[in-house]
Chain A
């Protein structure tokens, strides 16, 4: 596979580390419930189709990326820095 890092350009997948689904949001703070945290830590969708997932460009710019990949074909339709997404959502 190749992933086009928004900072570095198209790179071999060897440069990246996979983490998993990008959309679960960590329940932050002392008010978070154990149940919500359990969901965040363990429960994942497993779609056959487009999947937003986290990849870490550890051998490049060290950016965590949200990669939208079709799990059936590996076709990648979008790559964006995870940092921008959260900052954008908060704004």
Chain B
């Protein structure tokens, strides 16, 4: 345990009474509550925190915020291990474990840093050029090698043990950023009674006020900050959300946010989510996200110890850490000087100040003298030495002479870029500001205004003024009355003069533009030479601006160098269109509760509990869990069970849940006419008390769905749909009514959930049913013939509906009772059918029986088949108009050799058929041009004792008796099958009408 040698004796917003132990690469350290991992590492003198992406160069902490390109670590261990977390925003907690990435075998001694020696081969576009030949080497050799050498952290590879939430919030005004601008805006809006949400990605609100020594109203800014926060907390309609990043701006005032509820804890508190993904609906929003400081491109600018000057101030003032013993400041403007001042105030030594501006300002000279620092006016840094730890810099002065200065910290100040990412999420283009030397927000998305540094208004005075003014404006635009304006508090004076340095051409060494992707100035030059000049090409060719930081510190320098190469200005060269997310977002936060078994919803039939009791094996059928089959003890495979169920139905009686079918109650004077228009067949003559099979097309002439519809009254019908299409058909019917024929009196509503429905099938179905229906109902063949459909009662007056319809080809009924009685119905049927050996059967047996009967189902109603293809051409009425009529008549859809519906049986009855097998003429090659169609459904018929298939083949029924190959290379099947009628069992339908 070390003693935090770089921690200042006092100061900073850390709680020195609360020591936190943590480890980095297995070594133990101590920090304090209020630290980030980066500040704690720096306090302990840990400079080397990672290896770079391509060249495996040693890297240290560059920034103190979300833009960090270097200090990416693996956080935690086991299933919670998270790669690529930025140490600069990881809140320290007791027991934190972190590990460096992209090094092997260790961070200090990394074999792959030899990549640096190979660097001539690893320049921009290297993988497009180098690894093209021989082709076979790519997969086997080059790609694995590159994947090992280049990369970021390792994913845990285990299921995430934590819970994530998703949540929705609404407000009049969303304030993005809790610095002085955002606080001023939230105060102005909150005082007006507006519903305000104030988000900040940091765990502590205050923004740059936490990092700077500033005064507001003549007092330390901390006092103003404390008062502002206290007032905001007192306002009931203001919600303050720290640790919350607004990562995306979407249409119509929708903002995506992620709240890190438990990331600052070793593991989330009990019953708390790790993170919460928010969708925030805001009438207005103010972007007060501040600005990100820019590095300078010079040789060796990636040496650990080179740090952004603003970040140095953050470490000194906020965390009480002096990141170096001897500092050199390299600045292009006034802002950097504050770093020298604050380091000196904290007792640090400033060895030299290199101000790139050529004007010799006496005030600055005086300050340098006071600090005891050598001043280089008009100088630049042209090299850094030290490798794993900065040891010194080479300064080139205005005269061109160079001198070496020993230092272990180089603070770099090159101006700031507004954090305007969100303004660009809807394709808004940032615009270049010549005076500010940065891009500022261009056309803004509706409902968003930008304030303070995010708008390029970098001074504290501007921040406070913008926040108050735009806060009040937003309140008015949200439809509220702003409270009276309060005077904007005065601040201590500041200047923001700047003459940025985009790069320094040095003697030797790599000068990095994009640290995270190891893109150097030479790479950008190469891209320019090779013609990849548009900014989008530059990005793809060099990878500049990719990966987790998305170029937050690199995009502008890349543009500037490209501009220099092509003789254009920066705005002529291009700008960056930022897309969501602003910073990386865990997939878990987007999924929330919906993963694993909750990935999508599960629907359970009202008979589910009963089926479970019966030992059913369930299968997903769309959202439904349906009973697939009901194995009995001793049945070792599913086919044995299914065969038993099928034979039981065909010889006695079976019951099967069919509650999942869609059921639509259709009423109104024009209901029959409506059915005429949506079904291909006729409906006007359907008597009350009768069911009829109906076929529905899409308007393009292909089959959409089928099912039975029953006449319950003069103008009252009950339509059933397939399970899969229930929702789609309802939407289609609503479309037909509301959009096509609103003049119709037709009223419909889904009653799918109201009814539990069972199929009772088999020669003993009638006897079984007699034991369940109330005795007054006559269901003899005469009184209740095939396709009868009537209201009945069960259990002494419980309303029920009985339909004599059959999918199995047996004497069969469907009985429907209110869903709450579904369980009771199954039990009553089991009791009544016990003397006949009643057998529950699942959808597998149902499927076997429908194949035996040659009924089409989902596999055949696949959206590519017409009624004619399915042998249902006769159902297309020629006497009326209906949806799909005209398009179904198109010549190409009536061609004889369209694949159409027939049955198939193996010539050798011992052979198994496979769905998906393609038909090929005997003696012909198994090639695309000889493909004649495919097998849609297969089943083993325990009745016929061989496999049977249904399928679509060119020529269809005209070829019955012909033999073809059923070719299934995936499962090594190639057998001869005979084309036959699709009806395998009881073609006369004697059983049905019995």
In the complex, is A directly touching B at CB under 8 Å?
yes
Name A's B-contacting residues (CB within 8 A). 1-2, 12, 17, 19, 26, 28-30, 32-34, 37-38, 40-42, 54, 56, 58, 62-64, 73-76, 81-83, 86-87, 90
Which of chain B's residues have a CB closer than 8 A to the CB of A37?
Answer: 699, 886-887
Which of A38, A56, A90 is in CB contact (< 8 Å) with B734?
Answer: A56
Asked if A41 and B881 sit within 8 Å, CB to CB, the answer is: no
Which of chain B's residues have a CB closer than 8 A to the CB of A86?
Answer: 739-740, 742-743
Complex: how many Å from CA A33 to CA B889? 11
- A29-B881, A34-B890, A90-B743 given; A2·B738 CB < 8 A: no
Q: A15 to chain B: closest CB distance in Å? A: 13
Which of B253, B880, B886, B890 counts the most A-chain CB atoms under 10 A from its CB? B886
Asked if A82 and B890 sit within 8 Å, CB to CB, the answer is: no
Asked if B887 and A38 sit within 8 Å, CB to CB, the answer is: yes
Asked if A63 and B889 sit within 8 Å, CB to CB, the answer is: no
Which of chain A's residues have a CB closer than 8 A to the CB of B727?
Answer: 58
Which of chain B's residues have a CB closer than 8 A to the CB of A64?
Answer: 734-735, 738-739
- A37-B887, A64-B735, A82-B738 given; A2·B253 CB < 8 A: yes
Besides A30-B880, A37-B887, 20 other A-B contacts (C-beta < 8 A): A1-B250, A1-B251, A2-B254, A2-B281, A17-B731, A19-B735, A26-B740, A28-B740, A28-B881, A32-B881, A64-B735, A73-B426, A74-B252, A76-B252, A83-B739, A83-B742, A86-B739, A86-B740, A86-B742, A90-B743
- A2-B251, A2-B253, A30-B881 given; A54·B886 CB < 8 A: no
- A17-B731, A30-B880 given; A41·B700 CB < 8 A: yes
- What would 7 A/B residue contacts be, using CB atoms closer than 8 Å? A1-B250, A1-B251, A34-B889, A37-B887, A40-B699, A41-B887, A64-B735
Asked if A54 and B252 sit within 8 Å, CB to CB, the answer is: no
Q: Which 6 interchain pairs have the tightest Cβ spacing? A: A37-B886, A2-B252, A64-B738, A83-B738, A83-B742, A74-B251
Complex: how many Å from CA A2 to CA B204? 33
Complex: how many Å from CA A28 to CA B699? 12
Asked if A41 and B734 sit within 8 Å, CB to CB, the answer is: no
Kindly state whether residue B446 has any CB partner on chain A within 8 Å. Answer: yes
Asked if B731 and A41 sit within 8 Å, CB to CB, the answer is: no
Complex: how many Å from CA A28 to CA B740? 9
Which of chain A's residues have a CB closer than 8 A to the CB of B890?
Answer: 34
Which of A33, A42, A63 is in CB contact (< 8 Å) with B738?
Answer: A63
Q: A74 to chain B: closest CB distance in Å? A: 4
Which of chain B's residues have a CB closer than 8 A to the CB of A17?
Answer: 731
Which of chain A's residues have a CB closer than 8 A to the CB of B699?
Answer: 26, 37, 40-41
CB-nearest residue of chain B relative to A22?
B739
413-429 of chain B: CB within 8 A of chain A: 426
CB-nearest residue of chain B relative to A74?
B251
Complex: how many Å from CA A22 to CA B889? 25
Which of A17, A28, A62, A87 counts the most B-chain CB atoms under 10 A from its CB? A62
Q: B590 to chain A: closest CB distance in Å? A: 14
Complex: how many Å from CA A19 to CA B880? 26
Which of chain A's residues have a CB closer than 8 A to the CB of B734?
Answer: 56, 62, 64
Q: B250 to chain A: closest CB distance in Å? A: 8
Which of chain B's residues have a CB closer than 8 A to the CB of A2?
Answer: 251-254, 281
Complex: how many Å from CA A58 to CA B733? 12
Complex: how many Å from CA A12 to CA B279? 10
Which of A1, A26, A29, A32 counts the most B-chain CB atoms under 10 A from its CB? A26
- A37-B886, A41-B699 given; A56·B735 CB < 8 A: yes
CB-nearest residue of chain B relative to A65?
B738
Which of chain B's residues have a CB closer than 8 A to the CB of A32?
Answer: 881, 886
Asked if A56 and B731 sit within 8 Å, CB to CB, the answer is: yes
Complex: how many Å from CA A81 to CA B738? 9
Which of chain A's residues have a CB closer than 8 A to the CB of B887?
Answer: 34, 37-38, 41
Which of chain B's residues have a CB closer than 8 A to the CB of A1?
Answer: 250-252, 254
Complex: how many Å from CA A64 to CA B890? 29
Asked if A87 and B735 sit within 8 Å, CB to CB, the answer is: no
Which of chain B's residues have a CB closer than 8 A to the CB of A41?
Answer: 699-700, 887
Scoring B residues 849 to 872 as 1 if CB is less than 8 Å from chain A, else 0, what string do you get? 000000000000000000000000
Which of chain A's residues have a CB closer than 8 A to the CB of B254?
Answer: 1-2, 12
Which of B252, B731, B742 is in CB contact (< 8 Å) with A58?
Answer: B731
Q: B753 to chain A: closest CB distance in Å? A: 15
Complex: how many Å from CA A73 to CA B252? 10
CB-nearest residue of chain A relative to B252?
A2
Q: A63 to chain B: closest CB distance in Å? A: 7
Q: A50 to chain B: closest CB distance in Å? A: 16
Q: B891 to chain A: closest CB distance in Å? A: 9
Complex: how many Å from CA A83 to CA B734? 10
715-744 of chain B: CB within 8 A of chain A: 727, 731, 734-735, 738-740, 742-743
Complex: how many Å from CA A90 to CA B727? 29
Complex: how many Å from CA A83 to CA B251? 27
Complex: how many Å from CA A30 to CA B253? 48
Which of chain B's residues have a CB closer than 8 A to the CB of A82?
Answer: 738-739, 742
Complex: how many Å from CA A42 to CA B734? 21
Which of chain B's residues have a CB closer than 8 A to the CB of A30?
Answer: 880-881
Complex: how many Å from CA A38 to CA B885? 12
Which of chain B's residues have a CB closer than 8 A to the CB of A34?
Answer: 886-887, 889-890
CB-nearest residue of chain A relative to B886?
A37
Q: B363 to chain A: closest CB distance in Å? A: 50
Scoring B residues 874 to 903 as 1 if CB is less than 8 Å from chain A, else 0, what string do you get? 000000110000110110000000000000
Which of chain B's residues have a CB closer than 8 A to the CB of A90?
Answer: 743
Complex: how many Å from CA A61 to CA B55? 59
500-519 of chain B: CB within 8 A of chain A: none
CB-nearest residue of chain A relative to B699?
A41
Which of chain A's residues have a CB closer than 8 A to the CB of B251?
Answer: 1-2, 74
- A2-B254, A30-B881, A34-B886 given; A87·B742 CB < 8 A: yes
CB-nearest residue of chain A relative to B890?
A34
Complex: how many Å from CA A2 to CA B254? 8
Complex: how many Å from CA A87 to CA B700? 25
CB-nearest residue of chain A relative to B446?
A75
Which of chain A's residues have a CB closer than 8 A to the CB of B700?
Answer: 41-42
CB-nearest residue of chain B relative to A57?
B734
Complex: how many Å from CA A10 to CA B742? 25
Q: B191 to chain A: closest CB distance in Å? A: 27
244-283 of chain B: CB within 8 A of chain A: 250-254, 279, 281
Which of chain A's residues have a CB closer than 8 A to the CB of B739?
Answer: 54, 64, 82-83, 86
Which of chain B's residues have a CB closer than 8 A to the CB of A38?
Answer: 887
Complex: how many Å from CA A73 to CA B251? 8
Complex: how many Å from CA A26 to CA B727? 23
CB-nearest residue of chain B relative to A63?
B738
CB-nearest residue of chain B relative to A90?
B743
Q: A34 to chain B: closest CB distance in Å? A: 5
Q: A52 to chain B: closest CB distance in Å? A: 12
Complex: how many Å from CA A41 to CA B743? 22
Which of chain B's residues have a CB closer than 8 A to the CB of A75?
Answer: 446
